[in-house]
Each structure stands twice: as structure tokens, then as C-alpha cells.
Amino acid sequence: MTKLSVNINKIATIRNARGGNMPDVLKAAIDCELFGAQGITVHPRPDERHIRYSDVYEIYPLVKTEFNIEGNPIQRFIDLVLEVKPAQVTLVPDAHDAVTSNAGWDTKKHKSYLKEIVTEFKSHGIRTSIFVDPDTDMVYHAAETGTDRIELYTEAYAHHYPLNRVQAIAPYLEAARVASQNGLGINAGHDLDLNNLWYFVRTIPKVLEVSIGHALLSEALYMGLEKTIKLYLQQLK
């Protein structure tokens, strides 16, 4: 079964809109696991507009499943990850002013840099994953960095799924094939939801983990967090 890691950034976004501690991000992390999530994901950005660096330190000791920290490996981020030592770090090339992640790494252009970062994290026992577009060339060069996994950026799949799901998933099948041939584990995330998730995990072999935040928490506004997480888990069985 593909694991579900819930990205709780949006909980922090709501909290930060008014200040104070409502909703409680720490309780949200605990409850997500209680309701069946097999991991918690956070993505601290330099401006701390949602998850704060201080949140990461407070959440880590509470997580009983897997803790995944994702972000652009600026020095402050690297220092945070090395201090916290989560189960997994996901490297994402988002610009400081990006509303959300909007592209994978050019792993050919940045191969030496990524290899250096991956080597450092792995030397501390932290599993590494690199966020990539469904491009076989990018997957191949990601493998050459020594990373453990890739995370396939699924925005394009989600966008084209309502029009033609077979065409939408085709490049992801090829990317997954190259990943498997090169010994990489496969994660996926971005714009996956209750409409398109099941087809993705049934069509792409060996997806180890999906990281989902915006859609899951938006749907939880209508259905409640516990019911929504259970519906996502049903999609992954």
C-alpha cells in the first residue's frame, strides 16, 4: 500500500492569518496520525508564511510515523534538517516568492550541488528525495546524485486528468520506469486529490508515498479531517 503523508502547511496558514494558536498545528499533526496518516510533511519557507521553523522543532518529537521536511536547501534549511534529523528530506527548488512549488529540479544542471547536499543528509542517516518533473532525463540525472528517491511533481497529471487520463499519466509511467531501472524509490505529490489519486497509484507501479496537503485539508472543511483521511487511505489500498 502506498503511504499517505499529510502536508499540514495549510493548517499553519489559517493559524497565521489571525495570530495566536488556532487552529493548533501540533494537535493537527497528532490527529492526522491518529486518523490513519502514515506520515506528516511540512514545508518551511524562508518567509515562514505557513509552517514556521519553530513549528518544525515542536512537531518532530510528536510524530510517531514518518516525518518529512521539504524545501529549498538554503543554509538555514540545511541546518534545520541536520538538527531535527527527520526520516526523510525532500529537496524542492522553489523560489523564495513562489506561491507554491511549481517545477522540479533541473538535475542535470544542478547535479553537483544536489549530490553534495544528498551526500551530507545521507551521512546523517536521513533518507533523501528530489522533486522532479516527469522527465526521464531529469530522473536519470537525479539517480546520479545518489538520492534514495524522487518525488514526481504531479501538477501536470492533475491538470490534464479530466481531459484524458491515459495521456496525462503517460510521461509519469516512463519516468517511473527509468526510476525503477536506476534503483530509485518513487514518491509523488502536488494537486493529487480524491478524484485522481486512485488512478495514479494503480497505474504507476511501486509508488511508495504520496504527500498531500491542499486538497486533503480543503476537502476536510466539508467532510471533517478524520473522514477525509480515511477516504484517501481507501484510494491507496
Query: Phi and psi dihedrals of 96, rounded to 5?
Result: -65, -25
Comparing C-alpha atoms, which of 229, 183, 228, 235 is closest to residue 206?
183
What are the cell numbers at 193? Answer: 486529490
CB 214 within 8 A of CB 178: no
Taking phi first (over 0 means left), then psi (-120 to 50 degrees means alpha), and beta for anything else, what does residue 235 get? Answer: alpha
CB 132 within 8 A of CB 151: yes
Is position 151 annotated as part of the catalytic site? Answer: no
Q: How far is CA 198 from its chain centroid?
A: 17
* Interacting residues of 99 by C-beta distance below 8 A, sequence separation 6+: none
What are the cell numbers at 130? Answer: 528530489
Catalytic hit among 33, 70, 209, 219: 70
Catalytic hit among 43, 141, 209, 219: 43
Is position 43 annotated as part of the catalytic site? Answer: yes
Comparing C-alpha atoms, which of 105, 108, 61, 104 is closest to residue 85?
61
Catalytic hit among 141, 190, 209, 219: 190
Query: Phi and psi dihedrals of 87, rounded to 5?
Result: -65, -35
Is position 50 annotated as part of the catalytic site? Answer: no
Report the catalytic residues: 43, 70, 190
